[in-house]
Homo-oligomer: A and B are copies of this chain.
Amino acid sequence: MTVTLADVAARARVSPATVSRVLNGNYPVAASTRERVLRAVDDLDYVLNGPASSLAAATSDLVGILVNDIADPFFGIMAGAAQTQIGGPGDGSGRAGGEKLAVICNTGGSPERELTYLTLLQRQRAAAVVLTGGAVESPAHQAAMSAKLTKLADAGTRIVFCGRPPLPEGDALVAALAFDNRGGGRRLTEHLISLGHRRIGYVAGPRERTTTRHRLEGHREALHAAGLADEPAGGESADNGGTGSGDQDRLTVHGPYDRRSGYEATLELLRRAPDVTAIVAANDTVALGACAAVRDQGMRIPQDISVAGFDDLPFSVDAVPALTTVRLPLFEAGARAGRLAMGKESPPPGGIATIAAELMIRGSTAAPRG
């Protein structure tokens, strides 16, 4: 029924081994023989049986890319960029040569699904796995991830983190590209402070996420440095929970990384502290929601209130006014992660590289009135 490698061998009048060799190209074969085999392949419309091949070779050509929310361009851009480096150029024949199958797995931000996908990838004997975006910080999940990743690495799967810090007990088995979320967050708030803002609201992302925590830490660093933090209670290491310093907590609202959350959290913020003159959002999408809320309250941006985002997604420059934000080189980082996953590029020294975040000052922030 389906044509196998043996059929091709028969038609080309060679042994199955020879066919395998020309197909994999990793072994010397006479040009004339190769020619004959290739023709037989085309004649028969032969397609390699992936599972059989993977079983025999004990590796597969699958590369997994895990993302928290594929509907969010933040992840879409990184994942797409990674795929460009993994999928191979394609020879236009649709025949599929040595390229890998780069596949994106959407965890929806759920730790369980993240683990499940890793198991599925492990089951497929994936060649590499790229993990993007912030990690959930619960100790239980971290331990489970660590164990799972160790097992994957032991089985020969290459592990790459992209836009996510390496695990605490991160063995040197992995390469990691971490965004400078803390530095970006700090510079953003410093910008606001330099403009004259003193009461700044913060619409944070979900709790227990590295990205959320680091951006918030950067924000508070700037606040502290400017002497704007009342009752500095917990210090850096305590502010991912609920018990930070009093005033800062009142000016911080957590929520998912989506537009709706930005809208609602901003309303809440404005209720709690009507005197805020600026709002920093966890990311650009949240900022868009924040802008809508501010407007719906009859206030103007930036005259009455400044709004800033994070990430510099493509739509941010088109917001009205254009969004002040922190640019993350998502495409470049994704592409680099893809190359790392393919072993095309050697890992950074120490296994971890920090990716700079650049402050983009635009129209949505200005000096407070008065």
The answer to whether A343 has its CB under 8 Å from any CB of chain B is: no
Contacts of A73 on B, CB cut-off 8 Å? 71-73, 76
Q: Name the residue in A73, A87, A120 with the highest tally of chain B Cβ atoms < 10 Å from its Cβ.
A: A120
The answer to whether A102 has its CB under 8 Å from any CB of chain B is: yes
- Chain A 318-348 against B: per-residue CB contact (8 Å), 1 yes, 0 no? 1110000000000000000000000000000
Q: Name the residue in A79, A87, A121, A148 with the highest tally of chain B Cβ atoms < 10 Å from its Cβ.
A: A87
Number of copies: 2
Report the separation of the CA atoms of residues A51 and B51 in the bound assembly, to the nearest whole angstrom.
Answer: 4
Contacts of A285 on B, CB cut-off 8 Å? 314-315
Q: Are B71 and A77 in contact (CB under 8 A)?
A: yes
Contacts of A295 on B, CB cut-off 8 Å? 320
Distance to closest chain B CB from A57 (angstroms): 9
Q: Name the residue in A96, A106, A108, A115 with the highest tally of chain B Cβ atoms < 10 Å from its Cβ.
A: A106
Report the separation of the CA atoms of residues A268 and B350 in the bound assembly, to the nearest whole angstrom.
Answer: 51
Contacts of A125 on B, CB cut-off 8 Å? 49-51
Contacts of A119 on B, CB cut-off 8 Å? 47, 94-96
| CB closest residue in chain B, given A155 | B2
The answer to whether A70 has its CB under 8 Å from any CB of chain B is: yes
The total of chain A residues at the interface (CB under 8 A) is: 74
Q: Are B94 and A115 in contact (CB under 8 A)?
A: yes
Distance to closest chain B CB from A215 (angstroms): 21
A residues with a Cβ closer than 8 A to B are 2, 45, 47-55, 60-62, 64, 69-73, 75-77, 79-80, 83-84, 87-88, 90-92, 94-96, 99, 101-106, 108, 110, 112-113, 115-125, 144, 148, 151, 155, 259, 285, 288-289, 291-292, 295, 314-315, 317-320
Q: A71-B80, A94-B144, A289-B318 are in contact. List 7 more A-B contacts (CB 8 A).
A: A47-B119, A51-B52, A64-B103, A69-B80, A87-B106, A87-B113, A95-B119
Closest 7 CB pairs of A and B: A94-B115, A103-B103, A51-B54, A104-B104, A96-B119, A320-B320, A71-B76
